[in-house]
Structure 1
Amino acid sequence: MEVNREDLDFAYSPSRWSKRLPADKIAEDHLQVGKEAFEKAKLQFDHELDVVYTEDNVCLNLFHPKTVMPDAPVLIYIHGGYWQLVCEGDGAHLALGLQNNGIIVVCPKYTIAPKGTMQQMVNEIRQAVVFVAKRYPKTRGIFLSGHSAGGHLAAMCLPVDWTAFGLKQDIIKGMLLFSGVFDVTPLVHTYVNKPLKMTEAEAKAVSPVKYIKESCQLSKHCKIIAAVGEHDPPAFLQQSEDYCQQLENGGMSVKYVVVPGKDHFDIVHSMSLGNKNMMTQELLKLISMCAMARPSDEVTQG
């Protein structure tokens, strides 16, 4: 049955499903909470801002705990914003929540729409992984996390032959994906696509669900947690559940979590609470389990 434009717009409008704030207020609140976390993180961490990681001068931010080991795990966090808004402060929530655990947090920016295309964003985040791997060759493990559009961009790092970049194939040990979009094709006919200008073919080409076989072959070692808020749009819950099921059917280690009482936005805000927050606990378990054994250097030599 064909779904009309108005129904699709509603289905993929996270701000209209939250129970906390009116739809016209929640995005503004999300940005403000992120800005506050970003300023707090800058005070509490050794940090480097606007570090260039691509030839086109795309930048990332680095947050180092005050005491950090040479082989410290590294978490790359990719912000959301429907590929058209910069939510720079989002990663600070995770940095604050992980600050007592010796984990380096890296927050790459990417070229958002309308200037950037979806494929360009995918390529930039893959470049960020390569940059981080070469900057921290002794790390016990690189982990990816992303929110909404960022969850999508993280998932697009699964069907990648990392050896083509001079890295070990198991470079990414695990992922925590918040409220991700794993099938982009429904968005072609929504308001989201206005600045993106994707065709059906282009949307299919950047949809993680279209690369299940490749993801399971190339990243079978990678452990995945996909988390959604109880008050996320049902379409987001269904996308995460379906994606997890397909990866699991392909032999990957996957966990699907619905976080009680949280919506599309505060599921990330609450990461700053550290061990008091269930998803921070899940992330720490993931990192501990996957980074416990010291691997060989992630960057191949020679």
Structure 2
Amino acid sequence: MEVLPPSLRHSPWKALSKEDLEKQYSPSRWSHRLNAEEVIKAHVQVGKEVTKEVQASKKSVLGVSYGAGEGEKLDIYFPAKTSEELPFFLFIHGGYWQEGSKDYSAFMVPPLIAAGVAVAVVAYDIAPKGNIDLMVSQVRRSVLFIQKQYSFNRGIYLCGHSAGAHLVSMVLLTDWTLHEVIPNIKGSYLVSGIYDLEPIVHSYINDKLQMTLEDAQRNSPMFCQKEVQSQVTSTCDLIIAVGQHDSPEFHQQSLDYFQVLRLHGWRVSFIEISNVDHFDIIEKLMQNEYILTQTFPLHFLLLVFLV
């Protein structure tokens, strides 16, 4: 594991009081639409409604096991016209590694299946049952499962929101040569993510996670670049997105990670999305006119029909 030099680290958070640090890492307190409690309730409600609707589809296959663990399940949503060469979009939900569920995270399914893309929404063992290392391992296994089951796919695209963006980032650093197959990862969308876990260790968020400083450093993609990263840098396009109404720390983490990825040769773009907070930045994926929604189908359709 290569640790980036101190000059590339962002650490002004260390000068913050505990109260200010916890405010920076409390996304619900920065919403421009609703108060902290209301925005979380609204997010869950919207997610439940859209997920219930798409789960009723004849083309959905729910509760598929990608591993032996009880929590290692995923839901797959197929487009009306299927083939062995579909692109697959895997979504990893957020919730600070201790909340969230695949059962209210299918925001992006309607526009993507309409564009001919299969979508898998992945569950993993959240804390306190799961720890960070286990969650990274589980998401990695979900990717490997899709590759093995659908080996003729036209590309696997990973998307993570918040803590899910962190998990996707760690999975991208996998040495795939140690596994049975190398997944056909073509793109990754990191939405309002956290890429340096050290601030989390010093906040209330760690009460359930119980991360040590060593755990945080080992699982911070901001500072961990492995030699095997070249396995995917040449084939994977990344988009890092953050909402206008995410906190300053979330903005800084996204910008810092964008710069780190560019330094290490990734094909990466950065987007700050206007007039969204930490929650509706992902909720709006159900809208065809939304900037990220438009990015997904265009990218996929070009691959399906032009490659």
Q: TM-score, normalised to structure 2's length?
A: 0.90
Indicate which of 122, 142, 145 corresponds to 1:131: 145
Alignment of 1:81-160 (within 5 A): 81-160=95-174
CA displacement at 1:179 relative to structure 2: 0.4
Residue 8 of structure 2: aligned partner: none
The 3 A distance-change label for structure 1 pair 214 and 240 is farther
Residue 80 of structure 1: aligned partner: 94
Residue 281 of structure 1: aligned partner: 294
Question: Is 1:207 the counterpart of 2:220 in the alignment?
Answer: yes
Residue 70 of structure 1: aligned partner: 84
Residue 65 of structure 2: aligned partner: 52
Amino acid of the structure 2 residue aligned with 1:15: S
Indicate which of 199, 206, 209 corresponds to 1:186: 199
CA displacement at 1:88 relative to structure 2: 2.3
The 3 A distance-change label for structure 1 pair 9 and 267 is same
Question: Is 1:6 the counterpart of 2:23 in the alignment?
Answer: no
Q: What stretches of structure 1 of length at least 5 have no aligned partner? A: 295-302
Indicate which of 15, 18, 25 corresponds to 2:38: 25
Whole-Å separation in 2 of the counterparts to 1:45 and 1:177: 30
Superimposed CA distance per residue, residues 238-285 of structure 1 (whole angstroms, 9 cap, x where no aligned partner): 1111101111111111000001100000011110012x1111112234
Whole-Å separation in 2 of the counterparts to 1:291 and 1:220: 21
SS at match of 1:48: strand
Contact 2:101 2:123 in 1 (8 A): no
Contact 2:255 2:270 in 1 (8 A): yes
Indicate which of 181, 191, 194 corresponds to 1:167: 181
Whole-Å separation in 2 of the counterparts to 1:117 and 1:165: 22
Indicate which of 273, 282, 286 corresponds to 1:259: 273
CA displacement at 1:96 relative to structure 2: 1.4
CA displacement at 1:98 relative to structure 2: 1.1
SS at match of 1:209: coil
Whole-Å separation in 2 of the counterparts to 1:177 and 1:155: 8
Whole-Å separation in 1 of the counterparts to 2:299 and 2:133: 29
The 3 A distance-change label for structure 1 pair 243 and 215 is farther
Q: Which moved more, 1:132-141 or 1:49-58?
A: 49-58
The 3 A distance-change label for structure 1 pair 123 and 292 is farther
The 3 A distance-change label for structure 1 pair 141 and 165 is same
Whole-Å separation in 2 of the counterparts to 1:163 and 1:216: 11
Residue 220 of structure 1: aligned partner: 233
Question: Is 1:242 the counterpart of 2:265 in the alignment?
Answer: no
CA displacement at 1:205 relative to structure 2: 0.8
Length, aligned pairs only: 292
CA displacement at 1:158 relative to structure 2: 1.3
Whole-Å separation in 1 of the counterparts to 2:265 and 2:60: 38
Amino acid of the structure 2 residue aligned with 1:52: S
Whole-Å separation in 2 of the counterparts to 1:140 and 1:5: 47
SS at match of 1:202: helix
Contact 2:127 2:209 in 1 (8 A): yes
CA displacement at 1:28 relative to structure 2: 1.0
CA displacement at 1:212 relative to structure 2: 3.0
Contact 2:67 2:141 in 1 (8 A): yes
Among the aligned pairs, what percent are the same residue? 38
Residue 34 of structure 1: aligned partner: 47
Amino acid of the structure 1 residue aligned with 2:155: G
SS at match of 1:40: helix
Contact 1:143 1:287 in 2 (8 A): no
SS at match of 2:239: strand
CA displacement at 1:51 relative to structure 2: 1.0
CA displacement at 1:97 relative to structure 2: 2.1
Amino acid of the structure 1 residue aligned with 2:198: T
Amino acid of the structure 2 residue aligned with 1:277: Y
SS at match of 1:93: coil
Amino acid of the structure 1 residue aligned with 2:293: T
Amino acid of the structure 1 residue aligned with 2:147: A
The 3 A distance-change label for structure 1 pair 213 and 287 is farther
